[in-house]
Structure 1
Amino acid sequence: MVDTPGNGDGGVQDVTAQLVEHSLGHLFSAALRTVARCRAADHLAAGPRTAEELAELTDTHAGHLRRVLRYLATRGVFREDAAGAFHLTEVGDALRTDVPDSLHSAVVMLTDPVFQRTSAGLEETVRKEGPSFERIFGKPFFAYLADDPALRELFDSGMSAMSGPIDAVVAGTYPFPEKGTVVDVGGGRGGLLRAVLRGRPGLTGVLYDQVPAVSTHLLGDDDELRGRWRAESGDFLEAVPEGGDIYVVKHVLHNWPDDDCVRILRNCRAAMAPDARLLIVDCLLPTGNEPHLGKTLDVAMAAIVNGQERTEDEFAALLVGAGLRLTRVLATDAFPSIVEAEAAL
């Protein structure tokens, strides 16, 4: 028996429509990038507008813009009313540049031609077992970033935006102690560390990442955090700051193959104070066939950096290899989970 899901009882017609729609998925990414780049959502913040009105404001072609907006409305990004005006939805509102936790920079980063070309080369990844990014651009992703300041800025700002809505959720889910030091390993611009320190006035923190990320950190403009943090630059594949009570590794391990992950975790283990805890914040791959962002990111990691998302058992194995043991897993209201670990006896 063949399992042929469809949208109704149309049989071949439904299957054809579904596969054609999936095959043109790159158009959705391109349409999303188009409205992000012309900041259509910003112009809808005051209320609905027609495509003609938006075209005047965005210096675009009204007929073509309407077709793109109408397409995105089928995916819930906008809503078109009977009069032909377009409204913001909850999803579209997150594309505004002037709202807290805006995802505008994340969308612009994720839809950049560099990543579009990498995805187009996915077959190379599958056939030859290695990231298509490296074959296309001639060097590993992070080495390429180091040589391209503009792309590095795009990546850091995009990752910071993507993390923004998650940081408060993670900070509120894990029972951080009232006192001690939190070391955010590979913490980017420090959004998560900022959220944690705001919630626990007795904590101090260390933001640890490469120079381009920490040099544009988000901690210095917050009077509430004055004197409670420091930023250090370095390579977590070599060492991490010592003496922390909580080590956080958020959206880091999925960028690396197993041997490098064990190396990072061993460095954390060597630096941890007695009775310290380590928190891995990443997608936890579920079983079954239901959609999950982790399954999408898992394919992206294979194509870009030779990394992967992992199951609970796979995280447990990494921890054992680093002299740590998994103690519990906490689900969050966002897409990542929190994997807690401590030093193995």
Structure 2
Amino acid sequence: HRDALADHLRPDPQERPDADRPAETLLRLLTGAWTTQALAAFARLGLPDAMDPYTATGTRELARRTATRPENLATLLRYLTMLGVVAENPEDTTDAEGTQQTGDTGDTGKEESFRLTRLGALLRADSPDTMRPLALMYAGPFYRSFAALDHTVRTGQPAFDHLFGENHFDHFARDPELADLFDRSMAASSRMFQPLPAHPVITTAAQASAPRTVVDVAGGNGELLGRILTAHPGLRGTLLERPHAVEAARRSLDAAGCGDRCDYRSGDFADVPHGGDVYVLSRILHDWDDDRCREILRHCARAMPAHADLLIIERLLPADGAPSLATAWDLHMMCNVGGRERRAEHYARLLADAGLELLDHTPLPLEAYVLHARKAR
């Protein structure tokens, strides 16, 4: 279990050797942009798919498989070794006549060879839990917008809008390739959905004597709804999305074998279908400011029967300021869509303003939470 051992032996970031040397620490932080692009290049070049997690492969063979230059490839892979994405295994490259080969051997006289780690395997295109689309998205349009983060901090306007002349939802909708990449990048974080089919609200609906309907509001390509319907064959689903996303969801849910139990609605938040039993808002509210969130929640409240439940999936800002993915995404949402992450009590206030009551919130993978709300009594 080499990966587990490496994780165990890796120094605590708070105790790294340069912790008391601020200049070195700052230099490491400033190379974060290099990390983003190195991971994206690794994915774009198809290296994760060309590598084996158990057997190391020499750089010349990897270069042949990926149409890259061995010397430059070795430089990239050495950097990724520092990140734990690949692991290095030196191999002797002396040929049959005893002549030392050169080109990608560095100073060791041996060809460098690498194997894929469990971390790097998440960037394989064929992995069921692939995060490759996220790497491409964060190194693409969102990477460009972060270069104008100071504009957002000065003006309050999203840097994405400033650079591209329109908000990112409209921008992606007009570009089929970007729209597809965005949908796949959202699905790439779907491991946070794994516990949701077993949520008490969902299981109670599934056990009802009469068929119950789960309404996924702005449900993207149907990844979450598909998981719920697959786990509970007695449930029906309704997905509300923009027209281009509805078609992608239809294909996805048909492929999952549950498309025949799903209805599709093209529209906006004002078109939330009435009469559902469970309503889902997954990673929607963090896209918007408080006023727009209240409006979205009011649309949901008007559509919900008295018995209906609302499940909201979001990351929550920590109350104690502890390190959190939500803090990073708070910056991302501000820069790219003008939205924000929030604490649980903040969501409770927004729900109350819409006539809804927050009952509880429980943790999900990837530092997300599911918030359960109903109409206020």
> Is TM > 0.5 for Structure 1 vs Structure 2?
yes
Number of the residue aligned with 1:127:
154
Q: CA deviation at 1:173?
A: 4.2
Give the drift of 1:226: 5.2
Match for residue 297 of structure 2 among 250, 258, 265: 265
2:142 equivalent to 1:115: yes
Unpaired stretches in structure 2, ≥5 consecutive residues: 1-13, 92-111
Q: In structure 2, what is the equivalent of residue 231 of structure 1? A: 264
CA deviations 1:221-249 (Å, max 9, x no partner) are 233x253211211111x220111111000
3-state SS in 2 of match to 1:57: helix
Match of 1:142 in 2: 169
CA RMSD of superposed structures (Å): 1.7
Which position in structure 2 is the counterpart of 1:302?
334
Q: What residue is the counterpart of 1:86 in the other structure?
A: 114
Which secondary structure state, in structure 1, belongs to the residue aligned with residue 367 of structure 2?
coil
Note closer, same or farther for the CA distance 1:9–1:150 as it changes in structure 2 (3 Å cut).
closer
Aligned to 2:124: 96
The corresponding residue for 2:39 is 32
Unaligned runs of 5+ in 1: none
1:229-277 CA-partner distances (Å, limit 9, x unpaired): 11211111x2201111110000111111111111111111011122111
Per-residue CA deviations over 1:61-102 (Å, capped at 9, x if unaligned) read: 212211111111212111112433211111111111112121
Greater shift in the superposed pair: 146-155 or 86-95? 146-155
Q: d(CA) in 2 for partners of 1:274 and 1:59?
A: 61
Q: Are the counterparts in 1 of residues 19 and 25 from structure 2 also a CA contact under 8 Å? A: no
Q: Which moved more, 1:136-145 or 1:36-45?
A: 136-145
1:221 to 250, 255, 264: 255
- For the residue of structure 1 that corresponds to 2:248, the secondary structure is coil
Are 2:92 and 1:58 equivalent residues in the alignment?
no
Given that 1:6 and 1:18 are in contact with CA atoms closer than 8 Å, whether structure 2 keeps it comes out as no
- Bigger Cα displacement from structure 2, 298-307 vs 128-137: 128-137
Instruction: Pick the structure with greater CA Rg.
Output: 2
Task: Give yes or no for the alignment of 1:49 onto 2:57.
Answer: yes
Structure 1 range deviating more: 47-56 or 33-42: 47-56
Pair 1:28–1:264, CA change in 2 (3 A): same
Report the 3-state secondary structure (helix = DSSP H, G, I; strand = E; otherwise coil) of the residue aligned with 2:28.
helix
1:153 equivalenced with 2:187 (yes/no):
no
Amino acid across the alignment from 1:186: A
SS in 1 for 2:83: coil
Count how many residue pairs are aligned between Structure 1 and Structure 2: 335
CA distance in 1, matches of 2:176, 2:259: 29
Within the candidate set 183, 187, 194, 2:219 is matched to 187
Match among 323, 327, 331 for residue 359 of structure 2: 327
Percent of aligned pairs with the same residue?
36
Q: Is this contact kept in 2: 1:124–1:132, CA < 8 A?
A: yes
C-alpha deviation, 1:308, in angstroms: 0.6
CA distance in 1 between partners of 2:331 and 2:278 (Å)? 30
Q: Which letter maps to 2:196? A: V
CA distance in 1, matches of 2:248, 2:77: 34
Residue identity opposite 2:253 in structure 1: L
CA distance in 2, matches of 1:314, 1:82: 53
Structure-2 separation of matches of 1:336 and 1:119: 23
Cα distance per residue 1:8-57 (max 9 Å; x no partner): 37733xx2211101111100001001000011010113732122221111
User: How far off is 1:214 after superposition?
Assistant: 1.5
1:104-161 Cα offsets, whole Å, 9 max, x none, are 122212211x211101111111111121111111122222223323222221222222
- 1:320 Cα deviation from its structure 2 partner: 1.0
SS at match of 2:123: coil
- Of residues 206-215 and 29-38 in structure 1, the stretch that sits farther from structure 2 once superposed is 206-215
Q: Report the more deviating stretch, 56-65 or 18-27.
A: 56-65
Q: 1:9 to 1:140 in 2, by over 3 A?
A: closer
Task: Output the CA distance in 2 between the equivalents of 1:203 and 1:105.
Answer: 30
The residue that corresponds to 1:69 in the other structure is: 77
Q: What is the CA–CA distance in structure 1 between the aligned matches of 2:19 and 2:316, rounded to whole Å?
A: 36
Match of 1:7 in 2: 16
**C-alpha separation in 2, matches of 1:66 and 1:17:** 25
Which whole-Å CA distance do the structure 1 matches of 2:81 and 2:340 have between them?
Answer: 32
